[in-house]
Amino acid sequence: VQLQASGGGLVQAGGSLRLSCVASGRTFSHNVMGWFRQAPGKEREFVAAIRWDGISEYYGNSVKGRFTISRDNFKNTVYLQMNNLKPEDTAVYYCAAQEKTYGTISAPFDEYAYWGQGTLVTVSS
């Protein structure tokens, strides 16, 4: 099982990026998927999660109103649209999937059993 994240890069403050995470090896169409991030010297931070059917979403306070998570179960892919980026959004972004089917979108990171390798987002001021 592999989660492959992509779409990171360097962007100026106020700009946008769209991250993608493609899952291979199994389907996660019955599992919550999410995005987390970790900045240098800081702890891992929850960003967003989405229910298995895409109906419900949950966001961290620092990104609410600027980021949007979505998924395409036919493509086994989850996305993170990031708008109005700020320098404090600079981090490595990780996609993750829960092992438990029909889990909770507000679950902590230790409920996520599968993790991607991360993609670096750098926002310049």
Burial, 14: exposed, middle or buried (Cβ in 10 Å; 0-12, 13-18, 19+)?
exposed
For the stretch 51-104, pLDDT in tens is 999 999 999 999 999 999 999 999 999 999 999 999 999 999 999 999 999 999
Sign of the torsion angle spanned by Cα atoms 106, 108, 109, 110: negative
Q: How confident is the model at residue 24 (pLDDT cuts 50, 70, 90)?
A: very high
Collapsing DSSP states into helix, strand and coil, what is residue 110? helix
Side chain identity at residue 53, one-letter code: D
Residue 49: what pLDDT? 98
